[in-house]
Structure 1
Amino acid sequence: MKSISKKMTLFTVLLIIISLLVATIASVGIIYSTTKALTDQTLTETATVAADRVSWELKSMLNVAIQAGCNPKLSSAVYSKGQKQSEIDLIASTFGLDRGT
């Protein structure tokens, strides 16, 4: 009788341990796949926002360059280099641009 009781106890403990291992492995797999999907989605959204921001900044710079190119003071030979430089400085300060030296 003791051997049957010991076998039943052993099989019950093994069944519980195996069930816990299967549940643990399944939950780790689910958590991993969810985290990976969420990370992919977040990175995609971040890249999209960054690309939109860069595109907007480039369009703004293009508009400033077009406006400066259409400025008659900058293309006229009548104005001196100093007057043209002050006009460029005015455009840069108006649009909040950093000027290189």
Structure 2
Amino acid sequence: MNTDRVCGKRQFGHRARLVLTPAQVTLMDGQAHAARALWNLLHDWWTMLPKDRRSLAAADAAIRQARREIDRLAVLPAQAAQAVLKTYFQAWKNCWEGRAGAPGFNARFRR
């Protein structure tokens, strides 16, 4: 398709806005706090462990145990916990490949 000859009105589509109920806002806020806490616990665990014992399988086992034993992390769905692990590991891969600095602790954004 030749883009020089395209004429007419550009269509951007429909943008659906998410409108949450107060109960949903509370639930999402709790899950966001739990995800941030999990990131910080994972970072502490990762940096404390010797390099030869660090692996995705060991991190996954530690996350599963933490979700069972720590009530604040139990509100986080398993898929979200896995997404935190995947994002954290990707942050380390970016660091090792020189694209970014080492990941650190996440603090809550305060307005």
TM-score, reference length from structure 1:
0.33
Q: Which has the larger radius of gyration?
A: 1
Tell me which protein shows more helix as a share of its residues: 1
> Greater RCO between the two (CA within 8 Å, min separation 6)?
2
